[in-house]
Chains A and B, each alone.
Chain A
Amino acid sequence: MGERIPGRSVESVIEQTDLSLLLDTSTEPMNATPNDSKKRIEQLKHLQAWETQTARLLGGWQPAVRLWEAKHAIGLHLWRDLQTAGELRTRLWELRVSRPDGSAVVESVLPAIKILACAQQDFEFIAGLYLGAKKALAEAYRAYLEETHATWDVPSIDILRRAAVIKETKIEWAEAYLAQVATSDERRHIVERWANYAVEVITAAGGVCGEDERSAELPPPGYGCLLPFGECKRDDRFKVQLQGYDRPPIDDDEAHTLWQFVSYTIEMQAAETLASVLWEGEGMDWEFYYDVARHCYDECRHSKMGEERVRELGHEIFEIPQFTGNYAWRQLYDPMRRYGMLTYIIEQDSFALKHETYKNYVKIGDTTSAEAIMYDIIDETMHVRLGAEMGAGID
């Protein structure tokens, strides 16, 4: 990273409120690298769009990912992607770009994303997204860090260093996942082929920084798109049944506690519905994706919390049949109604049950279950309409 001397004084920079004036190098060129900030801004605009759109695509596929641990991981990853996008957007706002989603950016990213959606199998999709798109993002962050000015652009450097590390960790995760899942020669061939194809598509789309030449047409996938998925998938360790469970009487402590935490594991279906909404809600404000991604990840955590408590109670979730039908019937409705059912009806109604069971756990001295429910209530207050008032009543 070479030291460069800016072409204007700090005072004159501070006085400027419109960065586009600063970028007008025809009137007053910068000494070292004319247009450097203009170039950085364009890169950041494309990078945040790739983060946002890859998170949406992860949402589209999450219900169809079979391996339970991978489904959980994807819930976290799509939230991390939106967090990174949020930090990049905040930086862009500092750089006087208040609307980073210009049509040129979206037009260069979305067609490529829609092609990457066309994988036919979950591991194939993950190979393309992680070894293609996420690897390209990690490399772009590293290249940006190498090239940008070590003093002028420190706020971006802080963000991109973190973003690069997060991406590299996710790529390592994908490599481990693929080693576990793509165990036959045929599967390894599919992984390699689709990952290479994803790189071709991203290159033809002008790269994740949007600065390379775009091809007139992206290479066609040769497959139709399977999204949105009508059913959510579970791996072979699970038994699946159609119907849910009757609630045991609350004074049957053992049966009721097990029922409640098994029910938490089944909240994965809520995460899957939200993930589908993330994908299907195309063209919404960016903040919508940020909120839905957090919501989706929260539901994954509730499912995990259930799983851990079920284990502490002496059971494995694979022993107890899961039901996946709630995801399936909700998919018959449009994304707005799906989101409305979860937030206005299902989550809101569940407060009464949570309140009642929290008090009961306190009464019977099961503080672990009580604490777990309390954390859930805290998350749920963000999810629902009247949550804040109802949650405040818990004592």
Chain B
Amino acid sequence: MKPCTSAWGQKWVPELIKHQDEPMSLEEVIEDCRKAVIENSLALAQRAYADKH
């Protein structure tokens, strides 16, 4: 079995979007994810880095 070396987020988030019938585009979903981390994360460094982008 060939080991999988591709970038997993890039590979599977679009597939999950299709699988879930998600109406948002990939870019919108990623922005949504960033907002969720900034608003909710309890790891302060995580929140700070997400906020810098």
A residues near B (Cβ < 8 Å) are 83, 86-87, 89-90, 242-247, 263, 266, 281, 283-285, 287-288, 290-292, 294-295, 323, 325-326, 329-330, 333-337, 339-350, 352-353, 382-388
Q: Is the CB of A385 within 8 A of B4?
A: no
Chain B positions within 8 Å of A87 at CB level: 1
Bound: A334/B24 CA distance, A: 13
Q: Residue B37 contacts which of A242, A247, A341 (CB distance < 8 angstroms)?
A: A341
Q: A266 with B20: in contact, given A339-B13, A382-B7, A383-B8 (CB under 8 Å)?
A: no
Using an 8 Å CB-CB cutoff, how does the interface string of B1-42 with A read, 1 for contact, 0 for none? Answer: 100111111111101110110100000011011101100111
A88 CB to closest chain B CB, in angstroms?
Answer: 10
A327 CB to closest chain B CB, in angstroms?
Answer: 10
Q: Is the CB of A385 within 8 A of B42?
A: no
Q: Is the CB of A384 within 8 A of B9?
A: yes
Q: Is the CB of B29 within 8 A of A340?
A: yes
Q: Number of residue pairs across A and B with beta carbons under 8 Å? A: 130
Chain A positions within 8 Å of B4 at CB level: 287, 290-291, 294, 382
Residue ID in chain B nearest A89 by CB atoms: B1
A159 CB to closest chain B CB, in angstroms?
Answer: 11
Q: A344 with B44: in contact, given A87-B1, A288-B15 (CB under 8 Å)?
A: no
A160 CB to closest chain B CB, in angstroms?
Answer: 15
Top 7 nearest A-B pairs (CB, nearest first) are A343-B9, A336-B16, A349-B49, A244-B43, A86-B1, A340-B33, A329-B40
Chain A positions within 8 Å of B7 at CB level: 343, 382-388
A389 CB to closest chain B CB, in angstroms?
Answer: 10
Q: Is the CB of B20 within 8 A of A334?
A: yes
Q: A291 with B8: in contact, given A345-B50, A352-B49 (CB under 8 Å)?
A: yes
Residue ID in chain A nearest B47 by CB atoms: A244
Q: Residue A283 contacts which of B12, B19, B43 (CB distance < 8 angstroms)?
A: B19
